[in-house]
Amino acid sequence: MNGAFVWEPKKRLTVDGLGATHHLQYTHRMPNSVFDPAQHIFPDSEAIRQAITHVYALEMFAQSVVQPSLAALDRQLETADQSDEPAADFMYADLADLFHSTVEGYLLTVQSMWERSLRRMLVECDKRLCAGQNESAIQKARWERDTSRGLQAHFHRLLGFRMSDMYAYGDLDLLQNLGNAIRHGDGPSARRVHELAPNLWHQWLARGTLIQVGPYDITIPLSEPPQPSFETATLNEALLKQMISAVVDFWMDLESLRCHSFRAIHPSTVEQLRAWAQEREARRAVRDWTAEVR
């Protein structure tokens, strides 16, 4: 299990008009995640009110577009693989290329949906909290983490915690760089993808690597490039599913933050927060894909 939630009686939540109180807290124990929606109060919950809408849109896209189309391609691949026709091997290769290109396209769509929604949310926060003084800067900001002008710096400034403290950050960092690499090919983003997830390259060996083939020792020449071409990366359905899950996790954390920031919380909201916490625990316990750093 990647993480666990513990419910403890700690936070007192008063429900207007009902004369009742509820005690609710959960803690996400994750070595690379320190953000806890229950422990962070956002001053203007309306500024992030669209978080749950983004979840619904992404889930509809995944269920109505991604899954049916990839399932159809998978059935055609299986048919071609089992066929005795002379041209079946060529058909299988063409379908495999189409499958890979389709996954690439969907990864790009998921990344674009998330980044546009993130920028819109930050612009809305800046308008409500800072009179929109930084709207242009937010629209132009790059993804880079280690810069005071980057998108992540604006997130920290406006929401009060670092995006890198969130559970989904590692996947989202990979998704952002994947999007740029798919658009532009080899370059800084492609190199960053290789640093984050070298297991996307199944048949690449670093220069200087020694392998044994039968009685022979073969060393990859030092003259070879230090990193593989992005074109040789394998982007599969499991990776796509995990990126979708990461974006859902991000927005659900913000929706939980929004609800925990209410001055008074209705009992139905308390129950919804419990249900979301259970869904989050299940989602994080079983990943579709994980980067393996060599």
SS (H, E, C) the chain: CCCEEEECCCCEEEECCCCEEEECCEEEEECCECCCHHHCCCCCHHHHCCHHHHHHHHHHHHHHHHHHHHHHHHHHHHHHHHCCCCCHHHHHHHHHHHHHHHHHHHHHHHHHHHHHHHHHHHHHHHHHHHCCCCHHHHHHCCCCCCCCCCHHHHHHHHHCCCHHHCCCHHHHHHHHHHHHHHHHCCCHHHHHHHHHCHHHCCCCCCCCCEEEECCEEEECCCCCCCCCCHHHCCCCHHHHHHHHHHHHHHHHHHHHHHHHCCCCCCHHHHHHHHHHHHHHHHHHHCCCCCCCCC
Domains of the chain, by residue range, sit at 4-285
pLDDT of residue 277: 84
pLDDT of residue 294: 63
In 3D, which of 56, 58, 51, 19 has the Cα closest to residue 37? 51
pLDDT of residue 61: 97
Structure tokens at 2: 């990647």
Buried b (16+ CB within 10 A) or exposed e, 240-274: bbbbbbbbbbbbbbbbbbbbbbeeebbeebbeebe
pLDDT of residue 284: 87
Contact 46, 37 (CB under 8 A): no
Q: What is the distance in angstroms between the CA of the first residue and the CA of the last residue of the chain?
A: 22
- Beta partners for 212? 217
Q: What is the mean pLDDT of residues 41-67?
A: 90
In 3D, which of 250, 266, 233 has the Cα closest to residue 110? 250
Q: How far is the CA of 97 from the CAs of 87, 209, 233, 273, 293, in angstroms? A: 16, 29, 12, 42, 26
pLDDT of residue 154: 95
Q: What is the mean pLDDT of residues 189-218?
A: 87
Structure tokens at 252: 């659900």
pLDDT of residue 219: 83
Contact 284, 249 (CB under 8 A): yes
pLDDT of residue 245: 96
Q: Is the pLDDT of residue 31 over 50?
A: no
pLDDT of residue 223: 78
In 3D, which of 68, 97, 104, 101 has the Cα closest to residue 80? 97
Contact 145, 166 (CB under 8 A): no
Percent of the chain with pLDDT over 70: 88
pLDDT band at 42 (very low <50, low <70, confident <90, very high): confident
pLDDT of residue 218: 85
pLDDT band at 32 (very low <50, low <70, confident <90, very high): low
d(Cα 13, Cα 266) in Å, to the nearest integer? 9
Q: Is the pLDDT of residue 173 over 60?
A: yes
Amino acid letter for position 172: L
Structure tokens at 176: 């952002």
Q: Is the pLDDT of residue 135 over 90?
A: yes
Residue-averaged pLDDT of the chain? 84
pLDDT per residue as tens digits for the range 73-114 = 999 999 999 998 888 889 999 999 999 999 999 999 999 999
pLDDT band at 187 (very low <50, low <70, confident <90, very high): very high
Give 15 or 250, the one with higher predicted confidence.
Answer: 250
pLDDT of residue 126: 94
Q: What is the mean pLDDT of residues 199-212?
A: 83
pLDDT of residue 185: 95
Structure tokens at 107: 């990864």
Q: Is the pLDDT of residue 24 over 70?
A: no
pLDDT per residue as tens digits for the range 231-283 = 999 999 999 999 999 999 999 999 988 888 777 778 888 888 888 888 888 88
